[in-house]
A = this chain, B = another copy of it.
Amino acid sequence: MTGAESLVHTLLANGIDVCFANPGTSEMHFVAALDRFPGIRCVLGLQENVVTGAADGYWRMAEKPAATLLHCGPGLANGLANLHNARRAQSGIVNIVGDQATHHRALDAPLTADTEGWARGVSAWTRTATDATTVGRDAAAAVEVGRKGQIATLIVPADIAWNPEGSVGQPFPLPPVPKPAPHAIENAERALRSRQSTLLLLGGASLRGAALVDAHRIAVATGARIMAQTHNARIERGRGRPRVARVPYRVDQALAELAPFRHLILVGATPPVSFFAYPGKPGRLYPPECELHVLARPEQDAAFALAQLADALQAPRVSPADDGIDRAVPSGAETAALAETITALLPPNAVVVNEAGTCGPAIYAASYCSAPHDWLDLTGGAIGAGLPMAVGAAIAAPGRRVVSLEADGSGMYTVQALWTQARERLAVTTVVFANRTYAILLAELAQVGAQPGPTARNMMTLSNPDIGWVHLATGLGVEAARAESCEQLAGLLRTSFSRSGPFLIEFCL
């Protein structure tokens, strides 16, 4: 068995059955081995940021890691931005990066690069395999890291792949998710019983299933509020589920929302800070006098902690309809109308992938009363995550419609993902909100106090020429049409939901 064969064997033995890939020459032995030992679904992306973003979306819905197959340092580099987003989402991914043969590296052939150096910025675990006999064990160690919701990068020099005497790495037993100490629960209970204004800030697994229900019980029983972080890997929401607002993206709004609280209980969340710094504005979004409590750190068992806390508080079971939490009002009449349209039509069990910077908040606010769905955000701020995440989410959740809400600026970053959606016949409806600007940047420029001059305008408008999304989708094999009103949007959404494969709607704002 070659090293490459032992690697494929090991991935299979460790429960990996999806590999998002863009292989090159140094990965040919691995690709050949995939055919000799079938069982891994291989999905081609036409650029590596599609590959890594798909792996992120896959983890979020499958709750287990996919592998990626990348070509040398520059192939990895192309996928770093979405690995950065995945790291912020705590998505587990196992990157397999082929590289120059060990004896070839010193010759500094053109593709030679600092592959390890680039991997480290996103990976919890980085290793370059040194021998065909041990690359199987390396891969098992990588999968163990991936299963914990972290990124593992295994670099495999070509000769390690083609050399003989590979052996299969057996799965490591996965230790249970660490539980918070009892004093963390007692401490949160004390804050909630203080009757002072208290916020439970939810992140990670606390936004799903029983954990979210328990957080809601606690809020109703104590008068505390619950809120999610600004950007979350996945929230279960819609009718019959607790309504959860997110910390606003805009600093002034966030400061105003968080001003009343005297206790902030972090549940799988980190202390809320602004996305960027602004002159004269604080970076921490909670008031200085607010006391921080950690109920569960992001890597700890938030569901366990919330269940314990709810029981300690003897919080009665309640139905989510009783939430009584104010709903944020969408801004702008047009945005509100399109948000209502999407809210009304979202199919049951949809997976919403949100990278619509400008329209996203209004759609989020409105869709609390949609059919039950999962909502996935861009978590790391590196735009270009949405279309690839939709690929991975659709593969992880067959039978569910993925609704990909996309900005035109962000969508252009990884437009290649549409081709993979077409090839894999994925049930993805993409809505591109084409405002033909980097609208967020125009708002940011205003915050800087500058009127946009001709250069600034030129850097922030996506017109001249306008991007024709219907042409782009058609060129990549995805059925597409354009909507200029909410009525047309509604009609095209219905059409798209009747399709088994992908569909793109360009909505002109």
Contact = CB atoms under 8 A, between A and B. Distances in A.
A474 B468 CA distance: 7
A270 B108 contact: yes
A259 interface: no
Contacts of A31: 445, 455-456, 459
A279 interface: yes
Interface string A12-41: 000000000101111011011011101000
A142 to B, nearest CB: 20
A270 B476 CA distance: 41
B277 A158 contact: yes
Contact of A118 (B36, B80, B110): B80
Contacts of A25: 275-276, 440-441, 444
Which of A276, A380, A472 lies at the interface centre, i.e. has the most chain B CB atoms within 10 A of its CB? A276
Copies in the complex: 2
Which of A159, A467, A475 lies at the interface centre, i.e. has the most chain B CB atoms within 10 A of its CB? A475
A458 B42 contact: yes
Nearest to A115: B121
A450 B74 contact: no
A277 B163 CA distance: 13
Interface stretch (A183-191, A310-318, A324-332, A414-422): A414-422
A274 B109 contact: yes
A28 B120 contact: no
Interface in A41-83: 42, 44, 46-47, 49, 72-75, 77-78, 80-81
Interface stretch (A96-104, A143-151, A169-177, A215-223): A96-104
Contacts of A276: 25-26, 100-101, 104, 109, 111, 158
B277 A38 contact: no
Size class of the A contact interface (CB-based, 8 Å):
35 or more
A284 interface: yes
A227 interface: no
Contact of A412 (B42, B380, B416, B447): B416
A334 interface: no
B472 A477 contact: no
A208 interface: no
A465 B476 CA distance: 7
A38 to B, nearest CB: 7
Contacts of A470: 475
Contacts of A415: 415-416
Interface in A462-484: 462, 464-472, 474-477
A456 B121 contact: no
Contact of A423 (B108, B416, B455, B465): B465
Given A416-B415, A448-B32, A472-B471, A109 B459 contact: no
12 contacts: A28-B445, A32-B448, A75-B382, A77-B77, A78-B80, A78-B384, A100-B276, A108-B273, A159-B279, A162-B448, A422-B465, A471-B472
- 9 closest A-B pairs by CB: A35-B453, A465-B477, A471-B475, A74-B382, A101-B277, A104-B277, A32-B450, A77-B80, A468-B475
